[in-house]
Every structure is written in C-alpha cells, then in structure tokens.
A and B are shown apart, each in its own frame.
Chain A
Amino acid sequence: MSVLDVSELSVGFASEQGILEVISDLSLSIAPGETLGLVGESGCGKSLTATAIMGLLPKPHGQILGGDIRLLGESLLTSTEAERRQHRGQDMAMVFQEPMTALNPVQPVGRQLAEIYQIHRPNWSTSQIQSRIVSNLKAVGIQDPESRLSAYPHELSGGMRQRIMIAMALSLEPKLLICDEPTTALDVTIQAQVLDLIRNLTREHGTAVLFITHDLGVIAELADRVCVMYGGQRCEERDVEALFRAPLHPYTQGLLDSIPRLDHSPRTRLQTIDGQVPQAGQFPAGCRFRQRCTRASAECEATPPFVDGVACFHPRETHHA
C-alpha cells in the first residue's frame, strides 16, 4: 500500500473573478521508502500541492475543489481538523524552504524541537524529551547538540538551521516527509550535505518523501521517480533514469535543454522555452502547454489523457545525452 495517494486533486483560489483553479486533476502516489520528485517552474502549483496535502491551504481563499488525498489509506479530506492535527508531525511532516523564517525568532531552538513531543507525546517527561532531542540532533550531524539547544535561530548558520528543521520534521519518524525546496536557500556545498542527510535518514526509516524543487540536478541525485508539473497539471511522471535519458513530453524536454552543461562549448546560447507561463485562470483549453509547444496540432485543443507516464498526444523519445 502506498503511503500517500493523491487522486484527481483540484485546488482553487477564491478571487474576485470567481474561483481560479490552480491545480487540476493531479494524481500522485508514493510507496514506503520511495522518493518522488515534484518539478516545475515557479507558480506551477508544486508548493500548493504540498500545503494541500498537509491541510494547510491558506484560509479562507484556498479550497479543495475535488479529488482525494489519502494518507496510509485514510482520506484526509473527510477527516476532522483534530484528526488531521494528529497526522501532522506524527504521520507526515514538512521541511520548509527558508529555515530562518520557519523557526520562531524569539525561542531557543531547544524549545522549538521539544514542541512536537509536547504536542504528540504529552505524557513524556522533560528529561525524556531532552534526551530524544539530543539524539535527533546527533542524527542530523550537529556537533555538541547539548550546547545548541539554548541557541536562537539567528545565532546558527543556514545549514545548521536546516538540519534542525529536518531533525524537527523527523522527530516522530513520520511515514511521509514533504520537502519544499529545502536546499534552495543554502550554499551549494551545504546543499549536497543536506541532501545526503535527507537521503540517508529517510532510507534508514523507510520514509516516503515528496521532494519539491525546480532544480533538476537535485532531483537527479535524490529521486526515484519524477513528476513534472506544468500549469497545475501533471505532464510527465516516470522513473528518474528513464526521464532524464529520454524525456517524452515537450515541456520536460524544454526543461532539460535549458540546464547549462559542462560539455557545452563555451559561449553556447542557453536553450529556453519560448513564451511565458500564463497566469492562473488564463490557460488555454486542452493541453495547457500547447501555446508554447513546437509540436502542437489541432488535436491538442482536447485535454490529453495521462497514458504511460506522459500527458501528451504526440510523445516522442528525445534522447538526451
């Protein structure tokens, strides 16, 4: 049984022009121990997918319009808020993009690390919690954890803060870990360390990971499967190796082509995808990518079905180095 099962999820935002659908018919599933990479440009609905799964859509504007989200077989949309609170932190946890703002600036990190235990393990003693926190911090590679507990977020480095966020998210060994661009705010050298850390800790406990990023390099390193989103829809979802070797969807191909590569000769013009992502609500009917697509035809005015890992009427294997 998969840990997370999102089926035909649609999410909308209430606006003055009515409800704007920003995620349409998105389906995902992640098996235990598996890492699914969710890729796409900014504004394609990746982060919103994460907030929808966590049940933290901004109220009152964000609404789930249809579909279902199941965690360990149980629907999160029909459960009560109290039940969802029980799941959060315990069965699913999240690591945020910006560890500085995701930590409360006026509390020492030790107290913030203790919070999850105070919420979900109310009968644990302070010393029990303390020793767990120390071992959690050791697990994320923080030297001398006891002395770090009394530090405030701004006294720590960015990498250290993100390690603390990871320790916090993994405190109760959740079945599902959602990482929302956890390395974007970090230096490249720290990025690699943090990615290693996420990989090792989740492999160790068989945690399912939903890894959101726009950085294809990170995906190649970490994910088992990749789901590419465009305009709130899934356009391609395949094994990481197959996808990187031979992308099928024209958008995925465009994304891979636009990465600078070391084997390019110097001063090669970087490939780009022509046009811009339309604003939510202004997508063309049918295939949302068709206006920017070189392969578009009259056929594309209908919504392409998602078959064999790709949603396109003319998928073509383009071998990619």
Chain B
Amino acid sequence: MIRLDPITRDRLTRFQGIRRGWWSALILMALIAFTLVAELFVNSRALIVHYDGEWYFPTYGAVIPGTTFGEEYAYETNYKLLQKRFADEGSGNWVLMPPVPFDPYEINSYAGEFPPHAPNFDRGHYLGTDIAGRDVTARLVYGFRIAIWFSIALLASTYVIGIILGCLMGYRGGWFDLIVQRLIEVWSNVPFLYIIMIVASIVTPDFGMLVFLMVIFGWMGMTWYMRTATYKEVSRDYVMAAKALGASDWRIITTHILPNTVSVIVTFIPFSVAGGITALTALDYLGFGLPPPTPSWGELLKQGTDRLDAAWIVTSVVTGLVLVLVMVTFVGEAIREAFDPRRLTRYE
C-alpha cells in the first residue's frame, strides 16, 4: 500500500472540498470506466438470448451466425429482428437487448423515410440518426470512447518522453540542455497541421498512427515544464545531501526529484486531456483525423453543421463536447487550486 505523505493528503482533502471539481472528476472517471464496457449498453448484439433451453451471451466473443437461432442466413444474427420473431412466436424464447440497441457502424433504414431520422423513442433512436442513418447515441458513446482513450494515450506518451527528457535536461544541464532546448525551439516551429495534411494525403492514419504523429509534434510542452521543475529541485539542499551520502544520479532522480515534481505533472493532466480531445475533434472535423466510418465527435460535428435542419445531430454533439470539456476544466481548476503552493507552504 502506498502511504501518502501528509502534503499530498492535504491536497487530496482540499481537492475533495472543491465540490464541482470533485464531482466532475467522479463523473469523468465513471464515464471513462463506462467506455470500457460500453458494449453492454450500446450494441446491436443482444445481451442475453434464451433459445431452446440454451443461454447465449453474444456481447463479447465470436460472431454467432443466424442459423444458430433457426434463421435462414449464415451471417451475424440480427438480434433486433430475432427479438421481434421470438416475441411473435411466443415460444418461451427471448432476447434481451442493451438499452441502446444500435452499433455505431450500423445503418438503419426505415421505409419511406430518408436519413437523418429524427429522435424516436419507439425505435430506440433517443438522439436520432446521422445523415447515413447511424444512431447518434451509439456514435456519441463510441466517439467519446475513442476521443478519451486517444487523449489518455497521447498524454501517457508525451509525458513519458517529457518527463525523461525534461529531467535529463534539468539534471545534466550544460551542453546537453542547451542543444535540446534549441532542438525543441526549432521543432516547435514545424507547422503541425500541414504535416498532418501531407501525411493524411499519403496514408490513411489509424489510431496508433495518429497518436504517434501527435506525440512527435506534441512532446515539447511537458519537456519544458519538467526541465524547469527539475532545475528547481536540483538546486535544493536535499539533493546535495543525497549526493553527500553517495547516492547515484539515477537514485537521486527517481527517489528524490521525481516525487517532488509530481505536483507539476498532476496539475497539467486535465489540461492535456482537454487538449487531446479538442485536437482529435478538430482533426476529424477537418477530415484529417481517423478515417470514416470510425465514430467520432469531429465527424458528427461536421455533419451537424452541414445539416443544421437536422438539429438533433449538432445539438447532441455540442452538448456532449461542452459537458466533457467543462468537467475536465473543473477538474483542472480544482487540482490547480488544491496544489497551489501559496496555500500550503512547507518552507521555513
């Protein structure tokens, strides 16, 4: 069990005391956890099928062909139709569908109507469909899942690079620091959007590729902050005292400097998350992000602004975006406030 030092404990208590930040953090955590099991709530596959005394749980696992349930086709079972058939037969067989019984890729067509379909509770399209007839709720949920995990992956990779490189720069100083500083300055001036456009015109970027590209052009920020934080810690007496005990550089960095820079790192996390989400949304909006038909908020936003008559599209995606970003910002604000050194100084 990690024992928290009292300063961190105080900060946590203070963070919990800032109600809206704390609640936003809880809700966001819940949402992120929810995306891990989104298939159980938003899916065209049934949760449970009871057929001829057998139990089936199709959500996770291999495709179950229609023939398994006595359908004529051998491709994946259409559980919505199966549910209707079982209900009509009244044979004791039944299907339990998730609350939103749609796949984000599934194109729903209704006779005599052209998509986008307006919200319709009987059909289960709580937020309507997009211009291709795909359920907006499903696309929002899965779009959020991609955006948030994209953000987290981006954050993790840029922070790993930034922390390692920034620490080295601050700790070693001298020529190494000087050269990397100039490199960062030069690199920061590469126009990121052009590079993305060029790359996107040559290859279709997938998730990993896009994260990679964003990391390549986005590692500098954290490096900069970590460099400064390390510089500050290196000049403190306890580092000198550790050296006087014979501690190696590695030991000093890992056991003394890093734990003392945690507050810098933590304070930046929410802002990086918000930055990651907006970056992906913007790229998708411009069409340089993940290729269609990947569910994405940027692509939904594009559709929505193109088809303002189908107001449910733009309304849902803007609401989603605003809610998430506002919550992330609340968390960031609360963390910043809780970690504010002016309120809890331990220097004497």
- CB of B7 within 8 A of CB of A116, answer no
Question: Looking across the interface, which residue of chain B has its beta carbon closest to that of A60?
Answer: B174
Q: A60-B173, A98-B237, A115-B255 are in contact. Are A89 and B246 (CB under 8 A)?
A: yes
Residues from chain A with a CB closer than 8 A to the CB of B246 are 85-90, 116, 119-120
Q: List residues of A (117-134) whose CB comes within 8 Å of B's CBs.
A: 119-120
Q: A56-B243, A89-B246, A116-B246 are in contact. Are A106 and B260 (CB under 8 A)?
A: yes
Q: How far is the CA of A56 from the CA of B244 in the complex (A)?
A: 8
A108 contacts B by Cβ under 8 Å: yes
B28 CB, nearest partner CB in chain A, Å: 27
B256 contacts A by Cβ under 8 Å: yes
Digit string of B317-348 for contact with A (CB within 8 Å is 1, else 0)? 00000000000000000000000000000111
- CB of B247 within 8 A of CB of A104, answer no
Digit string of B226-264 for contact with A (CB within 8 Å is 1, else 0)? 000000000011101111111110010001100110100
A292 contacts B by Cβ under 8 Å: no
Grouping DSSP codes into helix (H, G, I), strand (E, B) and loop, the B interface class, with mixed when no group exceeds half, is: helix
Digit string of A116-160 for contact with B (CB within 8 Å is 1, else 0)? 100110000000000000000000000000000010101100000
Q: How far is the CA of A96 from the CA of B236 in the complex (A)?
A: 12
Q: How far is the CA of A292 from the CA of B260 in the complex (A)?
A: 46
A101 contacts B by Cβ under 8 Å: yes
- CB of A88 within 8 A of CB of B241, answer no
- CB of A88 within 8 A of CB of B5, answer no
With beta carbons under 8 angstroms apart, the residue of A54, A105, A108, A116 that contacts B260 is A105
Q: List residues of B (1-40) whose CB comes within 8 Å of A's CBs.
A: 3, 5-8
- CB of B238 within 8 A of CB of A93, answer no
Q: How far is the CA of A115 from the CA of B243 in the complex (A)?
A: 11
A210 contacts B by Cβ under 8 Å: no
Residues from chain A with a CB closer than 8 A to the CB of B6 are 152, 154-155
- CB of A102 within 8 A of CB of B241, answer yes
Question: Looking across the interface, which residue of chain B has its beta carbon closest to that of A86?
Answer: B246
B57 CB, nearest partner CB in chain A, Å: 48
- A-B interface contact total, Cβ < 8 Å: 87
Q: How far is the CA of A235 from the CA of B232 in the complex (A)?
A: 37
A94 contacts B by Cβ under 8 Å: yes
- CB of B5 within 8 A of CB of A152, answer yes
- CB of A96 within 8 A of CB of B248, answer no
- CB of B8 within 8 A of CB of A106, answer yes
Residues from chain A with a CB closer than 8 A to the CB of B260 are 104-106
Question: Looking across the interface, which residue of chain A has its beta carbon closest to that of B241?
Answer: A102
Q: How far is the CA of A116 from the CA of B8 in the complex (A)?
A: 25
Residues from chain A with a CB closer than 8 A to the CB of B8 are 106
A107 contacts B by Cβ under 8 Å: yes
- CB of A101 within 8 A of CB of B245, answer no
With beta carbons under 8 angstroms apart, the residue of A94, A107, A165 that contacts B5 is A107
Q: List residues of B (259-284) whose CB comes within 8 Å of A's CBs.
A: 259-260, 262
Contact count band on A: 20 to 34
Q: How far is the CA of A98 from the CA of B238 in the complex (A)?
A: 10
Q: How far is the CA of A104 from the CA of B255 in the complex (A)?
A: 9
Question: Looking across the interface, which residue of chain A has its beta carbon closest to that of B175?
Answer: A60
- CB of A106 within 8 A of CB of B7, answer yes
Q: List residues of A (79-113) whose CB comes within 8 Å of B's CBs.
A: 85-90, 93-94, 96, 98, 100-108
A214 CB, nearest partner CB in chain B, Å: 18
With beta carbons under 8 angstroms apart, the residue of A102, A115, A116 that contacts B237 is A102
Residues from chain B with a CB closer than 8 A to the CB of A100 are 347-348
- CB of A54 within 8 A of CB of B244, answer yes
- CB of A101 within 8 A of CB of B251, answer no
Q: How far is the CA of A119 from the CA of B246 in the complex (A)?
A: 7
Q: How far is the CA of A106 from the CA of B344 in the complex (A)?
A: 13
A261 contacts B by Cβ under 8 Å: no
Residues from chain B with a CB closer than 8 A to the CB of A103 are 238, 241
A168 contacts B by Cβ under 8 Å: yes
A267 contacts B by Cβ under 8 Å: no
Q: List residues of B (168-183) whose CB comes within 8 Å of A's CBs.
A: 173-174
A264 contacts B by Cβ under 8 Å: no
A269 contacts B by Cβ under 8 Å: no
A215 CB, nearest partner CB in chain B, Å: 20
Residues from chain B with a CB closer than 8 A to the CB of A101 are 236-238, 347
Q: How far is the CA of A154 from the CA of B348 in the complex (A)?
A: 9
A163 CB, nearest partner CB in chain B, Å: 15
Q: How far is the CA of A119 from the CA of B244 in the complex (A)?
A: 12
Q: A59-B173, A96-B240, A115-B255 are in contact. Are A106 and B247 (CB under 8 A)?
A: no
Q: How far is the CA of A87 from the CA of B6 in the complex (A)?
A: 34
Q: A59-B173, A102-B237, A155-B6 are in contact. Are A119 and B247 (CB under 8 A)?
A: yes
- CB of A56 within 8 A of CB of B240, answer yes
Q: How far is the CA of A89 from the CA of B8 in the complex (A)?
A: 30
- CB of B346 within 8 A of CB of A88, answer no
A129 CB, nearest partner CB in chain B, Å: 14
- CB of A88 within 8 A of CB of B244, answer yes
Question: Looking across the interface, which residue of chain A has its beta carbon closest to that of B243?
Answer: A56
Q: List residues of A (225-267) whose CB comes within 8 Å of B's CBs.
A: none
Residues from chain B with a CB closer than 8 A to the CB of A94 are 241, 244
Chain B residues proximal to chain A, CB less than 8 Å: 3, 5-8, 173-174, 236-238, 240-248, 251, 255-256, 259-260, 262, 346-348
Interchain Cβ contacts under 8 Å between A and B, 27 examples? A54-B244, A56-B244, A60-B174, A87-B246, A88-B243, A89-B244, A89-B246, A93-B244, A96-B241, A100-B347, A100-B348, A101-B236, A102-B240, A103-B238, A104-B259, A105-B7, A105-B260, A106-B260, A107-B256, A108-B5, A115-B245, A115-B247, A115-B251, A116-B246, A152-B6, A152-B7, A154-B6
3 smallest beta-carbon distances between A and B, as pairs: A89-B246, A88-B246, A101-B237
Chain A residues proximal to chain B, CB less than 8 Å: 54, 56, 59-60, 85-90, 93-94, 96, 98, 100-108, 115-116, 119-120, 150, 152, 154-155, 165, 168-169
**Other contacts beyond A106-B8, A154-B6, A154-B346: 11, CB < 8 A:** A60-B173, A94-B241, A94-B244, A98-B237, A101-B236, A101-B237, A102-B237, A102-B241, A152-B5, A165-B241, A169-B244
